Amino acid sequence: MNTPFVGDLVPDSKTGEAFTLGPLVTGPPCCEPVPKIRVESLSLSYGQNEVLRNISLDIYGGCITALIGPSGCGKTSLLSSINRLTDLVPGCQVQGRILREGGDIHAPGVDVHALRRDVGMIFQRPNPFPLSIRRNLALPLREHGLRNAREIDDRIERSLKDVGLWDEISDRLDAPAQALSGGQQQRLCIARALVLEPSVLLMDEPCSALDPISSAVVEDLVESLRGRYTVVIVTHNLAQARRIANYAAFFWVKDRAGTLVEFDHCKRLFESPRDERTAAYVSGARG
Amino acid sequence: MPDAVLYPGSARAGSTPTFFWRNLALQSFVWLASLLIIGVFLWLLGDILWRGASRVDWEFLISVPKSAGRSGGIAPIIVSTVLILVVAIAVAFPLGLATAALLSEYARQGGAKVRGVGLSLDVLAGVPSIVFGLFGNAFFCVWMGLGFSILSGGLTLACMILPIVIRTAESGLRMVPDEWRLGAAALGVSRSTTIVRILIPAAAPALVAGLMLGIGRAMAETAALIFTSGYVDRMPRSVFDSGRAISVHIYDLTMNVAGGDPNAYGSALVLIALLIVINSAALWLANRALDRKPSRS
Amino acid sequence: MVKTLSPNVRDRRLLWTLSLSAATAAGLLLLILIFLAKEAWPVLSTVGVTSFVMDSSWHPLEGTFGLTPMLAASVAMSALAILIAAPLGVALALFCRFYAMGPVARLFRWAVVLLAGIPSVVLGLWGLTTLVPLINDLRAPGTSLLAGSVVLALMILPTIALTTEAALTSVSQSYWTGASALGLSREAIILAVALPTARNSIAAGVLLASARALGETMAVLMVSGNVVQLPSSLFDPVRTLTANIALEMAYATGTHRASLFVSGLALTLLVLALAAAARRSGGQVVHA
Ligand SMILES: Nc1ncnc2c1ncn2[C@@H]1O[C@H](COP(=O)(O)OP(=O)(O)OP(=O)(O)O)[C@@H](O)[C@H]1O
Ligand SMILES: [Mg+2]
């Protein structure tokens, strides 16, 4: 795949030419610009209120894509439409297509449960269930048909090790998850998503409710997921986006609806943005 | 009085004689009324405690009534009461919980139909208890052929407490924060698992509180039981036997048994003590339910 | 691996179960009304509604079905109870809200909640053994319309007090500071701001309380003497609709039984109308 799709979809506003993405600037070489998810002219509205207009963007497999933009421009809405969590919101209509490995996720007959199993999501506020740590992780496994207790325990252990919690809490797996610290809770939520072995992780400001230390821990964790998972992360912390993301998409509210202004390699978007709104935003002048 | 709003400056606290008398009159009325109420309440409570305490001891609780209840204890009455309550709860709780889950989790999807259920429950809550007694007699005792029995009485009470059990369970489920619903959905967990394994356990204190309120309501009830579970004061052998609930016992001793008052007061004290315990437990659980929110960091 | 149902199937089954339960719960009201009507039908179809209203006396075995005296007793007793309980209940709410200090207010509130929880049969017992002898000293026989009203008033007072207090709490917070900033006295605030604003909720509470009063059986039955007659004074013994049902159901058969169901049906409709009015007048209703 040598001609990435972005070029066709987001014409360069200055030159009028389609731009292409070159080789990766940051991140290990495992990130190939092969689209894992393609969002095609997506529009989303809550009732009469359009919040996303004509968004087209590719999310590359194994890479970390950061979504940035001012509050209210629809980043969370975009994330939730990728795993069809928007189905749960009354009056939310989604137009356009979202292709996951070539298939439209809105096509009739698509199993949402399977979709969400493969596309995990982490929320802004840690939301471990009011159960024990072990049950938090076992519940989704059982739900997806895993019955073998040994295997369940193995997978719990593996995912807790992945998020670096194993050493901290392996001796109290049966304690209530709510007793953990905020940062631990958030990592538990990540483990809970990972335990299902998804291929995509959607993260909605996973660090914003955490203190700086926990935030750094989670950030390192996200960084370590690169290559194995396709990560889409929303963050208001531009420095963080810059540190961990391979690609970045900048959203802006235009005519009261969120639009995609620029999508590029993270480094390029921050260092030589092509749109002046992007430039102003990343330099801290606006937004 | 509207002057006070129109010309606030003119109504400085009690500055003019008219306002002074008006204020004094209102103030004295409020004080007198409150003291009167609290006085009557203490009188009532004191009477029950005083007259009841002289009867109630361990022996009273474990012996059978003698000479139509004038002497002896209330053991079979307590057993019947408990059995009636067990029947009522066994029916009302699952039915109520399921209905509450529908009302809180599918309200959007169900639209008008679900609202209809809610309205019907509110109406049901207003039906007088004696009418439940009539219905229970006609439906459970006669039509279903259960006769005067603990089962009929319990089922009648189940109908009566259903609205309160449902409404408290519903508000308990609604208090469960959406983040858990979203979190579960994002893991591909089905709605049924979410409700059964996450939402109901999370709302458990509120559910039990509602249940307790229902039990309290049922235990205080007399009119719905007189012609459903009957009067028989023997020890019941099964739920198909007639059994006398404690409130019916109090009624019968007061109205139909000359010289039954002392034991009636004894039974009243037992009943009130139980009610206070149950209601306090309900309150405590309901408050705990309010505390159980996801922790914020 | 055990074969499991797919999530969609499980969801559908759960929805079915829940809907079935909800339908049962909602259908209960209908079932009750149907059974009341069914049991009342034998006499309604032969005698007709008119004789229940027009007949002057209640002798169902002899074919006169006049409910008027008992209906009058029910209404008079409830009205009297409201007359006693409404000012006292509102005053108590004002006391807890505006006059009492924190712990005192809490104590009073606790007493009201406790009072609300006292079973009607216990109030009846207390009324009969304590209140009735006192009234008897004034005028025999003591068991009377007055005794019934006082006991009823005790029963419904908590409903009124709690509803009023809830309404006062929800309105007064914001007004209180504003009004005291204007230099209004506490009484002026109560009369000019708090009560008028809470008016609808208080009315709803009173309507709800009257519905409860009309439907109350045991306490009334135990203290009011149970003579079927149109009350002509406060000290007359009277029999309410509810007491009549409770007293006669035990032995009634045939037309007699059916006519008791007619009175039950009438009572239900009356009470539900009041509850509907309470709902319409809106306001926050606290179930005591
Ligand atoms: N459930 C909903 N119903 C109606 N409107 C909604 C809903 N969720 C979000 N919105 C609206 O959609 C717009 C976009 O919201 P969204 O949460 O997607 O923004 P965001 O970019 O994630 O903002 P933030 O950075 O503050 O999280 C906002 O104007 C919001 O008010
Ligand atoms: Mg957001």
Q: Where are the domains of chain C?
A: 64-280
C62-87 average pLDDT score: 90
Kindly report which listed range (B276-290, C37-51, C71-85, C122-136) carries the lowest average pLDDT score: B276-290
Does A112 lie at the interface with B, CB-CB under 8 angstroms? yes
Choosing among B95, B139, B254, B272, which should be mutated to test the C contact, i.e. which has the most C CBs within 10 A?
A: B254
Q: Do B185 and A182 touch (CB under 8 A)?
A: no
**pLDDT tens per residue, range B185-221:** 999 999 999 999 999 999 988 888 888 889 988 999 9
Pocket of ligand 1 (CB under 6 A): A 46, 49, 51, 71-77, 89
**pLDDT tens per residue, range B23-69:** 888 889 999 999 999 999 999 999 999 999 988 888 888 888 888 88
Inside any domain, residue A14: no
pLDDT-based confidence at residue C97 (cuts at 50, 70, 90): confident
- Which residue puts its alpha carbon closest to atom 3 of ligand 1? A46
Residue ranges of chain B with per-residue pLDDT less than 50: 1-14, 293-297
Inside any domain, residue A61: yes
**pLDDT tens per residue, range C105-148:** 888 888 888 888 899 999 999 999 999 999 999 887 888 999 99
Q: Cα dist. A224→A164, B85, B177, B290 in Å?
A: 11, 58, 31, 39
Q: Do B189 and A139 touch (CB under 8 A)?
A: yes
Inside any domain, residue A128: yes
Inside any domain, residue A111: yes
Chains A & C: contacts with CB separation below 8 Å: 12
Does A47 lie at the interface with B, CB-CB under 8 angstroms? no
DSSP code string of chain A:
--S-SHHHHS--TTT-SPP---S-SSS-TT----EEEEEEEEEEEETTEEEEEEEEEEEETT-EEEEE-STTSSHHHHHHHHTTGGGGSTTEEEEEEEEETTEETTSTT--HHHHHHHEEEE-SS----SSBHHHHHHHHHHHTT---HHHHHHHHHHHHHHTT-HHHHGGGTTSBGGGS-HHHHHHHHHHHHHTT--SEEEEESTTTTS-HHHHHHHHHHHHHHBTTBEEEEE-S-HHHHHHH-SEEEEEEEETTEEEEEEEEEHHHHHHS-SSHHHHHHHTTS--
Phi and psi torsions of C77, nearest 5°? -65, -45
Which residue from C minimizes the CA distance to B215? C117
Q: Tell me what ipTM this predicted complex has.
A: 0.89
pLDDT-based confidence at residue C79 (cuts at 50, 70, 90): very high
- Output the CA A92–ligand 2 centroid distance in Å: 16
- For the CA atoms of chain B, what is the radius of gyration? 25
Distance (Å, whole) CA A11 – CA A262:
9
Instruction: Provide the domain limits for residue A194.
Output: 33-282
pLDDT of residue C84: 95
Neighbour subunits, B (≥3 Cβ pairs < 8 A): A, C
Does A189 lie at the interface with B, CB-CB under 8 angstroms? yes
Residue C1 has its nearest CB partner, among A111, A113, A147, at: A147
Indicate which CATH number applies to the domain containing A246: 3.40.50.300
pLDDT of residue A1: 35
Phi and psi torsions of A16, nearest 5°? 75, -5
User: CATH code for C64-280?
Assistant: 1.10.3720.10
Structural domain count, chain A: 1
Choosing among B192, B221, B252, B278, which should be mutated to test the C contact, i.e. which has the most C CBs within 10 A?
A: B192
Does A115 lie at the interface with C, CB-CB under 8 angstroms? no
- Output the CA A76–ligand 2 centroid distance in Å: 4
Q: Do A127 and B198 touch (CB under 8 A)?
A: no
Task: Say how many Å lie between the first and final Cα of chain C, rounded.
Answer: 53
Q: Do C119 and B271 touch (CB under 8 A)?
A: yes
Inside any domain, residue A86: yes
Residue ranges of chain A with per-residue pLDDT less than 50: 1-29, 287
- Mean pLDDT of all residues belonging to chain C: 86
- Output the CA A75–ligand 2 centroid distance in Å: 6
Smallest Cα–Cα separation from C11: which of A135, B171, A82, B101? B101
pLDDT of residue B16: 61
- Output the CA A277–ligand 1 centroid distance in Å: 21
pLDDT of residue C4: 58
pTM of the model: 0.85
- Which residue puts its alpha carbon closest to atom 1 of ligand 1? A89
Indicate the top mutation candidate among A45, A67, A76 to test ligand 1's pocket, ranked by most ligand atoms within 8 A of CB: A76
pLDDT of residue A13: 39
